[in-house]
Structure 1
Amino acid sequence: MQNQFTNDGEDHIDRTTSAAICNAIGERLRRDIGPDDDALPSHLQMLMDQMRQQDDSTRSR
């Protein structure tokens, strides 16, 4: 089966430019959403804490 999508005639961007665009979008989202929305739901925060504990115990071995 042939790919129906082609990039013929489209401009391409390099990895550095792509990363810069992603970073700019992330910064804009952080600014627009604000710091109040940084908190995770309690269950997800508990899971993240458990993962950190497991990582710490694995590194200390």
Structure 2
Amino acid sequence: MTGRTADFSDALDRRTSRSICDAVGERLQRSLPPEGSQLPDPLAHLMNELRKRDEPTARFD
């Protein structure tokens, strides 16, 4: 069974693999509801904190 898996992976080149990944990603994006992308409150709070830290500090000088 391992030999069969190795043969299959050798048959897929990078271009084919990338195409498959892109197609799967596109289908996932279409199937996920837009409202599902809203972050839970604790995670949204942490993301806001990271944004604050990433802002240029020059304005505080």
Q: What's the TM-score, normalizing by structure 2? A: 0.59
SS at match of 2:48: helix
Cα deviation for residue 54 of structure 1 reads: 1.7
Name the structure 2 match of 1:26: 25
Cα deviation for residue 33 of structure 1 reads: 1.7
Cα deviation code 1:20-60 (max 9, x no counterpart): 222221221121122121101011111112112222237x6
Name the structure 2 match of 1:15: 14
Task: Rate the CA distance shift 1:27–1:56 in 2: closer, same or farther, 3 A.
Answer: same
Q: RMSD of the TM alignment (CA)?
A: 2.4
Name the structure 1 match of 2:40: 41
Task: State the distance in 1 between where 2:29 and 2:40 align.
Answer: 18
Which residue identity is paired with 1:56?
E
**Identical counterparts, % of pairs:** 41
Mark the structure with the bigger radius of gyration.
Answer: 2
Task: Rate the CA distance shift 1:50–1:16 in 2: closer, same or farther, 3 A.
Answer: farther
Name the structure 2 match of 1:55: 54
Cα deviation for residue 17 of structure 1 reads: 2.7
